[in-house]
Amino acid sequence: MIAPTAFLFNEEHEMVRKMAYDFTRKEVLPIIKEHDRAHTFPKQLLPKLANLGFLGVCLPVRYGGAGMDYISLGIVSEALEYGDSSVRETIAVHLALHSLPIFQWGTEEQKQRFLPGLASGEHIGCFGLTEPGAGSDVAGMASRARKDGGDYILNGEKMWITLSDVADRFLVFAKTDPEQGSRGISAFILERGWPGLTTGTIEGKMGVHASNTGWIAMQDVRVPVSHLLGEEGEGFKIAMSCLDNARYGVAAGAVGIIRACLDESVKYSFERKTFGKPIAEYQLIQQMIARMQQNLDAGELLVWKAGMLKNQGVRNTRETSMAKWFCTDAARQAADDAVQIHGAYGYSDEYNVERHLRNTKSAVIYEGTSQIHTLLQASYVLGWREDKALRCPMPAYDADAWTAEE
C-alpha cells in the first residue's frame, strides 16, 4: 500500500506501514469483534505487538526499543486503529504515556532500569492523571504525596485509566505541595504489588469495549525517591508533555478510523443495490464518501506535520492539539456517515462501522475534549499562549544514535 503522503515516507516507513497493516488484518480483525462483544481485553496480542517491536517502536535500541522515529509511531497507531481503537490505545498508553516520559524525563539509571522491560513487553505500563473530580482541570487533582524519610507516601484515586487492570507499572501524579497548584504536582513510577496499591475495571462503557479501563486507588503507598520521575514539582510539565505524545497517537489513530470507514463504505456502496443500481451511483452517497476522503487527506497532513516536528525535537503542543482536534472530529463524522451509508446493517455489529462509531465518541473526549482544544487553539491565535522550553525536551530523532547497541 502506498500512502498518499508518500513524499514524507522513506523505505523504512513503507516497511513499517506494510507490517502494521498486515498485522491488523491478520491478527486484529479476525478476533476483535468477539472481544468487543464480550468486553474482554485481547491479551494474546501483547506478545505479538512486542515481537514486532511496536511496544517500543520509537525507543532507542540501547534501551530495548526498535530505534524507529516518531513518524513510525504515527504509522503504527493509524494501522492498529484501522482495526480497533482498543489496540491502538494499548500502544498509546504503554508507550506514549508511560515509556516515552521515562525516556524524556528519567535519569539514565531509570531509563536503563525501566525501559528494556517495557519495550519487550515483560512489563506493561499505564498512566494515571485523571481523577473522579479532576479531568480537564489537572490542577484540581486531590491525590497527595508527602515526603517520609527516603520515601514518599501517596494517597488518592485515579479514574478512567486505560490498562489499569493489565499494567504492572503505573505513572501517576500527585501533589507534593498543594499550596502551589499545578506547580506543586510531581510524577511517580509505581509497581503492582506494592502495599496499598489496588486497581479495578469500569463496566458499562459506550464504546472501546475491548480495552481495559478502570481505576487506581492508593492508600498510604510507600514510593522510593528513586521512583520520582523528573524533579519535585515538575509533574504538571511532565503530564503536558505526555499529552503531546498521546494526542499525536490519537490523531494518527483517528486517521486509521477514517480510512477504515472509507474502505468499508466504498465496498458496501458497490455491493448494495437499490432501485436497480448500486448506491454508489447516488450523489448523496458520493457526497459522504468524498467528505471522508477530504478529511483523510487533511488529517494525514496534520499528523505527519506533527511527526516531523517531533523528529526534529521541536515542541509541538499546538500542532498535536490541532491534529487531535481535527482528526477525532473528522473520524466521528466519517463513522456516522459510514453507518448511514450501510443503513440498517450499519446499525448492527455485523459490520465494523457500528463499532467505529461507538469508539469515536471516546476519542473526542480523552486526551483533551474537542472544547478544550478549541480554547487551546484560540489562545495561540489570540497571542495569549506561548510555549516555553522544557528542561527536558523530547529528544530529536537521530537514526545513528537510536539504532546503536550502546
Q: What is the CATH number of the domain that holds 143?
A: 2.40.110.10
Handedness of CA 190, 191, 192, 197 (dihedral sign): negative
Residue 2 has pLDDT above 80, yes or no: no
Residue of 367, 386, 405, 406 marked catalytic: 367
Judge whether residue 7 has pLDDT over 80: no
Query: Residues 262, 381: one domain?
Result: yes
- Cβ atoms of 97 and 171 within 8 Å: the answer is yes
Asked if residue 50 belongs to a domain, the reply is yes
Q: Is it the case that residue 60 has pLDDT exceeding 80? A: yes
Distances (CA, A) of 396 to 66, 332, 399: 15, 32, 10
Residues 118 and 170 in one domain: no
Domain boundary among 182, 206, 233: 233
pLDDT for the residue 9: 85
Q: Per 3-state DSSP, what percentage of the chain is helix, strand, and coil (rounded to 5)?
A: 60, 15, 30
- Phi, psi angle pair for 206, to nearest 5°: -70, -40
Is residue 106 located within the same domain as residue 57? yes
Tell me whether residue 1 is in a domain. Answer: no
For 87-133, what is each residue's pLDDT tens digit? 999 999 999 999 999 999 999 999 999 999 999 999 999 999 999 99
Where b means 16+ CB within 10 Å and e means fewer, 293-304 reads eebbeebbbbbb
Hey, what amino acid is at 30? P
- Cell for 22? 498486515
Q: Read off the CATH number of the domain in which 265 is found.
A: 1.20.140.10
Same-domain pairing of 273 and 229: no
DSSP code, position 344: G
Same domain, 103 and 225: no
Tell me the C-alpha distance between 9 and 306, whole Å.
Answer: 14
Longest pairwise C-alpha distance within the chain: 79
Q: Do residues 115 and 27 both lie within one domain?
A: yes
Residue 41 counted as domain residue: yes
Which SS3 state, helix, strand or coil, does residue 103 take?
helix
Q: Is residue 325 part of a domain?
A: yes
In this structure, the answer to whether residues 23 and 145 fall within a common structural domain is no
> CA-CA distance, 321 to 309, in Å (whole number)?
13
Query: Which pLDDT does position 397 carry in this prediction?
Result: 96
At residue 8 the predicted structure's pLDDT band, cuts being 50, 70 and 90, is low
Give Cα 137 to chain centroid, integer Å.
20
Indicate whether 80 pLDDT > 90: yes
Please indicate whether residue 367 is annotated as part of the active site. Answer: yes
Residues 229 and 352 in one domain: no
CATH number at residue 94: 1.10.540.10
Q: What is the pLDDT of residue 139?
A: 86
pLDDT band, very low/low/confident/very high, at 389 (cuts 50, 70, 90) = confident
- Does 386 lie in the same domain as 245? yes
Q: Is the pTM of this model over 0.85?
A: yes
Count of the separate structural domains present in the chain: 3
Check whether 248 has a pLDDT greater than 50: yes
**In whole numbers, what is the pLDDT of the chain averaged over residues?**
95
Residue 206 domain boundaries: 126-233
For residues 54 and 121, give the distance between their C-alpha atoms in angstroms, rounded to a whole number. Answer: 10
DSSP H helices, 343-366, are 352-363
User: Which of 263, 214, 268 lies closest to 41 in space, CA to CA?
Assistant: 214
Q: Within a domain: residue 100?
A: yes
